[in-house]
Structures are given as structure tokens and as C-alpha cells.
Amino acid sequence: MSFPIVRHRRLRQSVGIRNMVRENQLSVDDFIQPIYVTYGENVKSEIKSMPGVFRFSLDRLQEEVTEIAELGIPAVLLFGIPETKDSVGSSGFAEDGIVQEATRLIKSWYPELLVIADTCLCEFTDHGHCGMVHTFEVDGHTCGDVLNDESLELLVKTAVSQAKAGADIIAPSNMMDGFVQAIRAGLDENGFSHIPIMSYSVKYASAFYGPFREAADSTPQFGDRKSYQMDPANAREALREAETDVFEGADMLMVKPSLSYLDVLRTIRDQFDLPLVAYNVSGEYAMVKAAAIQGWIDEKKVAMEILLSMKRAGADMIITYYGKDASRWLAEK
């Protein structure tokens, strides 16, 4: 072979060299840990399709939050399962709503832990959709249209109530047109101009949400969410969605899910200069857990490789159910 010989293996031959030239690193500071809070007393119930993930009543919440804080995870994402539901999701914006009460408790225990409030109505509506619905019958079957502009008013009320309770970041996930602008205006008008919006900018109508719907009790009672969440076949549309949210005042952008949409994550990273969030969703977590339980894969190695792929694709932050485990694994190094 003629000189020079290119030997790429020179930079792979030892742990020290590999560590020194590594292009991307995972850190505990990258992680956001989801938490499910529910009504009742002494509740710590494991979610069947998400082994290791639990619903907590408020009186059992501190044990989970303490574990998260002691691991050094900087933020939690709150989801609430209310005691009662109605057609407009009024428990989602009630002063004494489950998310609002949980937020107050967490901030009293750990003021420096960031509380991110998921701002949607699907957990709080009796029909399971992310906004107000006009229902009608077709051949004996209940159908419905999600009302965009009417829903914005309720989402603003929800965001403001969450901010009043002490949420550090508002994370609207509803995918209504104009939701960032409406929430930004509502927060500003109520004295919360300092509260950032982490927008679920690019949210696909994905089959990977199945376990979440069990966890949050938010399965639609009719139809699906394809009229407001994105078609998984579309990538260019993601640019339009993100561009709109940037124009309307989003402070952070998100791609959800992430594992099957790493191309979209990379495209958003290349086109926009806002902090970017990847959501490692429930179905992605459940698949790894199920295979690991069967002994088919090395859970730690696969989970960390998945999280690293999201970081490599351009994510600054990762919402993941593996937040606690990954933090422990990183500490073992």
C-alpha cells in the first residue's frame, strides 16, 4: 500500500484516546424526568406497560422527587391524573388541580429543581382529546371535531394556573394552531413574562405513545389525534411547525417522539438556534424494558446508546423515563 496509510484505528486503540476524541457526551444535566401524579392516598402504582415507572399520590410524591434531586437531575416534567373529568378539562386549570398542587409541593421541598408543566387537556377531558370537542353522531357512532380557537382559551387558563402554582417552564403539547402565541400573551398579561415556553413544536401522531395513554388515562374515547398531530410520513412539515413556534415566541423547541425521528431532530437542529428537546417517549422505553426483561438485550448499553443517538442528532435536553437509571449509570464511570 502506498504511503501515507490512513489508519483510523489509531484514535480507537485505548480508553484514554477514545474518551479524549469523543464528539458527544451524555450528562445528568441533559435529563428531564417525567412524573405522574394522581389523586388518592398512599398511591404508588406501577404502570403495567412501563416497568419501573409509577403513579404517585401527593402524599407519596416526595420520595420520588427526593430520589430525582439527589441524583442531580435538574428538571421534572409533570403529568396529572385528576379525580374528575369533564368536557372542557376544568380540573386542568383549577387552582387546586393535581398538577398545581404537586408543583407547589415540589417547589417547597426543592426550590432549585425545575418544574416543567405539561400544558394539555387530554388527561383532564372526559373525551380524551387535547381541546374542546364538538360531537355528533354518524351511523350510530360518536364522532367529533376538535375546536382549535375555543381550545386556546382553555390552554391559556391552564398555563397561567400552572405558572401561578410555581411552574418554572410551561410545556404546551396540544398541537393547536396558534397555541404558542396565545399562551405567551396569556402569561405576559398575567405577570409571567419571565416564564419560558418549551413548545412541543414537532409532535407526531405516533403509535409510540401507547403506554403513556395507559399511564395518564388519556386514550381518546372516539376517533384519533391525526387532525392535529403530525403525519409520521412528513419531514418538511416539521420545519413549518417549528418556524411558526419560533415566530410566536417559543423559547425551546421539541421533537416527539425522537428515536424514529432522529432525521427530523437533526433538521430542526440545523435550521433553528433555539435549545432543542428530544422526547424519549413511553413506547421507546417500554420496548427496551420488555426486551431486557426477556434477557434479549443489555438494557444499560441499549438505553444509553439510544440516549446518545438523540444527543448526537442535536438534542440539548432529553425527556426520558430512563433519567434516573441513566444518571446512576453515568455516575458509575
- The annotation places the binding site for Zn(2+) at 120, 122, 130
The rounded distance, in Å, linking the Cα atoms of 123 and 219 is: 8
Q: At what angle do helices 236-248 and 179-189 cross, to 10 degrees?
A: 20
* 113 close to 69: Cβ distance less than 8 angstroms: yes
The rounded distance, in Å, linking the Cα atoms of 112 and 244 is: 31
Kindly write down the DSSP assignment for every residue of 63-88, as one continuous string: HHHHHHHHTT--EEEEEEE-S--BTT
Q: Which residues of 178-215 are buried (b: 16+ CB within 10 A; e: fewer)?
A: ebbbbbbebbeeeebeebbbbbbbbbbebebbebbbbb
Residue from 85, 203, 289, 311 carrying the catalytic annotation: 203
Residue positions in the annotated binding site? 120, 122, 130, 213, 225, 241, 282, 321
Active site residue 203: yes
Residue positions in the annotated binding site for Mg(2+)? 241
Phi, psi of 114 (to 5 degrees): -75, 130
* 199 close to 155: Cβ distance less than 8 angstroms: no
Residue positions in the annotated binding site for 5-aminolevulinate? 213, 225, 282, 321
The rounded distance, in Å, linking the Cα atoms of 152 and 186 is: 10
Residue from 44, 85, 256, 311 carrying the catalytic annotation: 256
Active site residue 256: yes
The residue written with cell numbers 403529568 in the block is 79
Contacts of 43 (CB under 8 A, 6+ apart): 55, 56, 57, 60
Catalytic positions are 203, 256
